[in-house]
Amino acid sequence: MGSNLTGIDLQGKSAIVTGGSIGIGSAIALKLAECGANVAINYRKHKEEAEEIINKVKSSSRKGILVQADISNFEDAAKMIESVVKDFGKLDILVNNAGINWDGVIWKMTEEQWDSVININLKGYFNYIRAAAPIFREQKSGKIVNVTSINGLRGKFGQANYSASKAGIIGLTKTVAKELGKYGVNVNAVAPGLIETDMMKQATEEVRKMAIEEIVLKRIGQPEEVANVVAFLCSEMARHITGEVIKVDGGQYI
């Protein structure tokens, strides 16, 4: 699983990572485990991939929990958090990562396209924060990290639904940071640019070339590079950081 980041100690912490079966989510789940945390992930349809990630978590002598849960379902979210607290004994870290995209220009976008993306990408984050907030508030500690996107900061042609959901996550992050700050809870967001996920690996060479032209560092980011920042924000090294949106994009935004 690679070497641990110097100084990032999550020993004995319990974490939930939504959408932790593939892509950036799986890298986050493995990084948190590498830093010492017990990790629970949910899956909706990628069961085999999710089982593989949890087996890797367990192989590093951490506890791992796998839950089938639709993040857009309010009750599913509450049940998952209740189940994790029961099994792990507590909850210290919540990483909201699960999301989808269903692109289309605004004059062709259907109501289903809009609702699906907003319900998973934005309402899903609310569902988990809503369920975790009373726990964090009562214990007067906790870390919440929300995965947004640079497209939530700048917009993206053909992604009105996705960009709106990711912008909403930024507003949600800042508001919850204000609401939970006095209870010792840190709430931050990371905004990845183009990252080498399975979807990107399937892109044509022309698409990849155009994307790299936009990135100052002239390369596509790796999931582990996002996971490193998330792990830092989940640690006590970041205890005086809250309400922030940290871009991990190789300069793509600028």
Distance (Å, whole) CA 137 – CA 124: 20
Identify whether the C-beta of residue 9 lies closer than 8 Å to the C-beta of residue 36.
yes
Average confidence (pLDDT) over 116-139? 98
- Strand partners of residue 92: none
Distance (Å, whole) CA 33 – CA 44: 21
Average confidence (pLDDT) over 107-123? 97
Is 125 noted as a catalytic residue in this protein? no
Q: 68: helix, coil or strand? A: strand
DSSP H stretches of helix in 19-120: 23-34, 47-59, 74-88, 111-118
Q: What is the pLDDT of residue 204?
A: 82
Top-confidence residue, 2 or 166: 166
Distance (Å, whole) CA 144 – CA 15: 10
pLDDT category, 4, cuts 50, 70, 90?
Answer: low
Count how many residues are written for the chain.
254
For the stretch 59-84, pLDDT in tens is: 988 999 999 999 999 999 999 999 99
Amino acid in position 241: I
Q: What is the mean pLDDT of the chain?
A: 94
Delimit the domains of the chain by residue range.
Answer: 14-193+223-248
Distance (Å, whole) CA 203 – CA 216: 20
pLDDT > 90 fraction of the chain, expressed in percent and rounded: 88
Active-site option among 43, 125, 128, 162 = 162
For the stretch 143-184, pLDDT in tens is: 999 999 999 999 999 999 999 999 999 999 999 999 999 999
Q: What is the pLDDT of residue 203?
A: 76
For the stretch 190-231, pLDDT in tens is: 999 999 988 778 778 888 898 899 999 999 999 999 999 999
Distance (Å, whole) CA 48 – CA 26: 12
DSSP letter for 214, please. H
Q: What is the pLDDT of residue 12?
A: 95
Q: Superfamily assignment of 14-193+223-248 in CATH?
A: NAD(P)-binding Rossmann-like Domain (3.40.50.720)
Q: What is the pLDDT of residue 6?
A: 56
